[in-house]
Amino acid sequence: MTLEEIKKEFNQLPKNYKTKDVDKLNLRLIKEKQDVSCLKDLVLYHQEYHRTYFQVSLGQMKTNEEKFKFIEDNFLNLRDWWHVDQLTQFVKNINPQFALKKAKKYVNSSLPFVRRWGYVLFITSLVKKEEIFDQITGLLKNDKEYYVIMAEAWLISYLAIYFPRRTYAYLNECELDYSIVSRAIQKICDSYQVPQENKMLFKTLRVKYKKKK
């Protein structure tokens, strides 16, 4: 597609369109196998095209290797977009070791949204795999960027759903800052998937971390 054709598609969306309207458009473009590569150099300056560029491109790719390469080739186009967690809808059934190898590089990136991606990519079926629990928690480190901190807290809260005792033991001994742990505990306490008794257990860690703060 040309840029003019894509602009025309957007002009046909409802006035004050919502995300669901863009998703519907993107789904059609995927089915039509449309090429939206013309948007690559625009997405940082025209955020309305960001979702379409990534969704339509990734939606037509078959393998995770191909998808991860595309994401990596577009890392600079992620730097102002905190919704990298939405990329997980396109990377299904990821090989755990493949994901860990990628994430080790991502969490050390100078780009905060790449670091965020290094954590949120595990908030898929991967977070349920207890055999890589230690490797996932081994990726967690102190960070100053808000959206990276929130990604780490979010990931910890998911680990607490599936492995509450191991997650509690990890938080009880780790060296993460209070800014990360407190947010993780809050997300755990807000979760409908965590039993009340487990929420109370995690709340006891707040006192310890406040003293360390």
Over residues 44-54, the pLDDT tens digits come to 888 889 889 99
Pairwise CA distance, residues 109 & 119, whole Å: 12
pLDDT band at 38 (very low <50, low <70, confident <90, very high): very high
Domains of the chain and CATH, by start: 93-212 (1.25.40)
Which spans in 15-120 are helix H?
Answer: 19-31, 50-59, 64-73, 96-106, 112-120
Quote the CA–CA distance of 151 and 180 in Å, as a whole number.
9
Q: Which residues contact 114 (CB under 8 A, 6 or more apart)?
A: 75, 78, 79, 106
* 52-105 confidence digits (pLDDT tens): 999 999 999 999 999 999 999 988 876 666 568 888 888 888 999 999 999 999
The pTM is what? 0.87
Six-digit token pair at 66?
């191909």
Whether residue 157 contacts residue 199, with contact meaning beta carbons closer than 8 Å, is answered with: no
Distance, in Å, from the CA atom of 203 to the CA atom of 59, rounded to the nearest integer, reads 41
Confidence of residue 150 (pLDDT cuts 50, 70, 90): very high
Which two structure tokens, joined as six digits, stand for 88? 């997980």
